[in-house]
Each structure stands twice: as C-alpha cells, then as structure tokens.
Chain A
Amino acid sequence: MGQLVKLVPVICAGAIVAGCGLNALRTEYAGNVGSEGTAVAAASTQFLRDVEASRRLANIEMIVADPACGSSPAMIRRAIVMNKAGPGWLCLMPNEPRQYGVGRLSLAPISSQIQPTILLVSSLSAYTKAVAAAVDSTPSDPMKPLLDALETARSAQGLILSTTGGQGGPVPPAEDKGIKAIGDFVSFLSQLSNEPDQVRRLRQLIAKNPDGALPLVDALQGHLATWENSRKADDGLRLAVNGAMLRRAIDATPPLPPEERRKALTDFYQIDDAVTATADIYPALSKSLGTLADADNDLRRVLVEHPNLTKAERAKVAELNRWRAINAIDIVTALITSFKGA
C-alpha cells in the first residue's frame, strides 16, 4: 500500500508529460487547419460556380438584347445606338469595320480557364487534411493524402505555367512570387511524401517548414481576386445591358403598353437584386482563406519542440495540465481506495 502511495507523484507527472496540455493544443490547432481547409474548399467551389454562372448570364443578356452580339468575340459599340430598331444597336454587325474602344468579349466557356484555380483549391484542401491527420493521430496511410495533394499541385503548376508562359503581356519571370509559390509548394510536398519515418518526422517537417501553405494561399488569393473581378464585371455588364433595354423600352415611340414597361422595370430590379446577392460570397471566402493561413501559422508555431506560446495559450496549457493532474490523482485515489477496501 505504502509503495502505491509513493507512486502517486510519479503517476501524476507521467500523466502530465505523456498527455501534456501542449499536445492537446497541437491537436486542436491541427483540427482547425483541417476544418478551415474544408471550409475554404467548399466556399471556393461555390464561388467558382457563381463565376461561371455570371459569365453565362451576361452572355445571355447580350444575345437576347441584340442578335449582333451572338458571335464570339461579341463587340459592344463604343457609341451604342439606343434608338436603332433592328439588330446592331448594341454590338457591331459582323460586316462592320473595327472601331477604337470597342469592348471585345469572348463568349467561350470558361471551364478550362478555371481549372488551374480548382486544382490549387484541391491541392490546398488535400494538404490541410493530410497535415491535420498526421498531427492529430496516426493515420493508417499517412502518405496517401500527401501524394494526392502532390499530384494535384503538380497538375495546377503545369496548367498555370502553360497559361502564363507564351502569352503576350509582361510574362512573370521564373522568380515571380506566384509561380515560385507553386513551385515551392510542390517541392515541399515532395519532401513530405518522401519522408520514410512517417508521422513523427512529418510533424517535424511541417513544424520546420517556414511558410507552410502560406505561399499557396497567397497564389490562390491572386487567382480568386481575378475571378472576383470577372464576376463583378459580368454581373455589371448583365445589369447595364438589361438597363439599356429598359431605357429603350421607356423611350420607345409609340410608347409601349404599360404591362411591357412594367415587365422591363421588374426584370431590371430582379437582376439588380440577384447581382447584389452574389457579391457576398467572395468577402466571406477571402476571410476564410485568411483564417486558414492563421490556423496554419499557429499549428506550425506550436509544433516545434519548445514553442513560443502566447499568454492565452500558456494559460490554456496550464489549465489542461492541471486538469490532467487532478484526473490522474482521482484515478490513483480510486485505485488506493479500492485496494483499501480489498
């Protein structure tokens, strides 16, 4: 019995060290990275669907307004002829000479242009899941999610290089931040997926990687900003073209029947409301990406051997350790009591 009592401090210390509060904090932060990665992937998918829908709706509006807009690229006049009755009031007719300041709008589907962004999102999501799994517990096959993420990142890298190289314009040099970010990320994933002593060393590598997923988050922010401007412009175009049709309906001579004017006005305000609603998604997505970057930073910071904890984190770790010590004492007390009763 005396022997058992002497063991109490040892058991308590063991409980604190083996299952220490810091590990609980690490597990919590790994969970945050995983859940934020999932949120970013879901929001990005929805956002990119909206971008495609906005493009289609803008194209529909142009072609409905004027059949002259129905061949790609549609060329909206610099001087729109509001009072022209037939086709060609909005867009140049196919046989008209080119004019300065014409908006040349490709009507081609954008699915292939969106593909590199989708692959960046997939690779970031796969990476966050893999990291969370490696830190949280011992996964059955820790390499598989990383290999998946690596393959997706390599596809994205290839597509981005093929779309940016060889185009006109100031092509980014090899050391450009965006291109470099993807290259570095692929290297980092290669390093992780070649890691033989899996979970423990995975954790070390994740902790030691200075930037983690941040360069990829930056690159993705850039892609999404381009698509957000595309969405804004397509929604604005849809609204303006419909508004121009409304203006023509109001100014028509002889005046249109009241029900036609009512329909034109109602259509415009419905589009205005729909456009306002789609504007909410990107700010939420951008915020979510920022939260993911913060979560990744926090995890990387606490994974090192002697992490520099914030005051709040130290308090939390102390509280967890205290709770674990009390729990250990309770267990030992119950054990002693049961021996006494025996």
Chain B
Amino acid sequence: MGDKAALQGSFGNLLDMLDDRFDPLQPGDIVAQWTSIMARGAACARNVAAWDALASTSPAYDSVIAALDQATRALVTADYGNPNEVETALQATSNALDQLEGILAA
C-alpha cells in the first residue's frame, strides 16, 4: 500500500526534473507544452488543503506513484535533440498529472 510520503517524494522528483530539464531554446511548441504542464504541476502543489487531507496510506497511491516515476524517467532519458522524444516524455508527464489531479480532487 502506497504511502503519502512516497507520493510526495515522487511528485517532488518530477517537479525537480521539470525544473532541471526546462530549456527555453527548445522549439516554441515544446516550450508552450512544458509551461502548461509546469502550471498544472504548480496547481497540484498549491492545493495544500488537498495534500493535508490525504490519508497517510492508500492503495490508490501505488499507480499514481508509478506514473509519476515513469514520467520522471522519461524526462531524464529523453534525447533533447529529438522533439518527438521530448513530446513523448511530456505526454507521460501529462498522464501522470491527470492521475495526481484525480487523487487530489477525490
């Protein structure tokens, strides 16, 4: 059963990677997608009341943690000279944020 600390940790790692790998010299559409995803991440992080209200453990966290970790790996391993790979990594990130938003809104 996943715990809240692990969920926070996986989300934090994803945010780190979004900060570290952001490059405004990438093509404009990638910069636009990246900024939009960062804003969704910030909206999740700013929802402190929802984070405070999460139970310490829940089986629902496992799949979200896995999705967040997979998105982080995709951002780490993407070839930043290849826009298709970057877009794939951003899509994985968007999917992970969908799941996180679901948990926080439940």
Contact = CB atoms under 8 A, between A and B. Distances in A.
A and B associate: yes
Interface of A: 55, 58, 76-83, 90, 101, 103-106, 110, 113, 160, 163-164, 167-173, 176-178, 221-223, 225-230, 232-237, 239-244, 246-248, 250-251, 268, 275
B5 A105 contact: no
A221 B46 CA distance: 17
- List 10 tightest A-B contacts by C-beta distance, closest first: A103-B39, A243-B24, A233-B45, A76-B39, A80-B32, A233-B42, A240-B38, A232-B15, A240-B35, A103-B43
Nearest to A73: B43
A248 B41 CA distance: 22
A229 B15 contact: yes
* Chain A interface helix/strand/loop/mixed: helix
A229 to B, nearest CB: 5
A236 B18 contact: yes
B88 interface: no
Contacts of B79: none
B101 to A, nearest CB: 9
B12 A172 contact: no
Interface of B: 4-5, 8-9, 11-12, 15-16, 18-19, 22-25, 28-29, 31-36, 38-46, 48-56, 58, 60, 94, 98, 103-106
A170 B34 contact: no
Given A103-B43, A243-B31, A244-B32, A235 B53 contact: no
Given A101-B40, A226-B48, A239-B19, 11 more contacts: A76-B39, A82-B32, A83-B28, A105-B43, A169-B50, A170-B103, A176-B55, A228-B12, A233-B42, A234-B42, A244-B24
B11 to A, nearest CB: 6
Contacts of A163: 49, 52-53
Given A236-B15, A244-B31, A268 B44 contact: no
Given A82-B29, A236-B42, A237-B39, A173 B55 contact: yes
B19 A243 contact: no
Nearest to A166: B53
* Chain B interface helix/strand/loop/mixed: helix
Contact of B19 (A223, A228, A232, A242): A232
B81 to A, nearest CB: 17
Given A77-B36, A173-B55, A243 B22 contact: yes
Given A168-B106, A225-B9, A246-B24, A105 B32 contact: no
14 contacts: A79-B36, A82-B31, A103-B39, A105-B43, A168-B50, A177-B56, A225-B9, A230-B45, A236-B19, A239-B38, A243-B22, A244-B31, A244-B35, A247-B28
Contacts of A237: 38-39, 41-42
B39 to A, nearest CB: 3
B5 A222 contact: yes
A236 B41 contact: yes
Contacts of A170: 53-55, 58, 60, 103, 106
Contact of B4 (A164, A222, A227, A236): A222
A47 B46 CA distance: 16
A225 B56 CA distance: 13
A225 B6 CA distance: 10
B53 A169 contact: yes
Contacts of A82: 28-29, 31-32
A76 B52 contact: no
Given A76-B36, A177-B56, A232 B50 contact: no
A235 B12 CA distance: 12
A106 B43 CA distance: 8
Most buried by A among B9, B52, B54, B104: B52
Contact of A234 (B40, B45, B49, B105): B45
A76 B35 contact: yes
Nearest to A227: B48
Contacts of A227: 48
Contacts of B50: 167-169
Contacts of A240: 18, 22, 31, 34-35, 38-39
B28 to A, nearest CB: 5
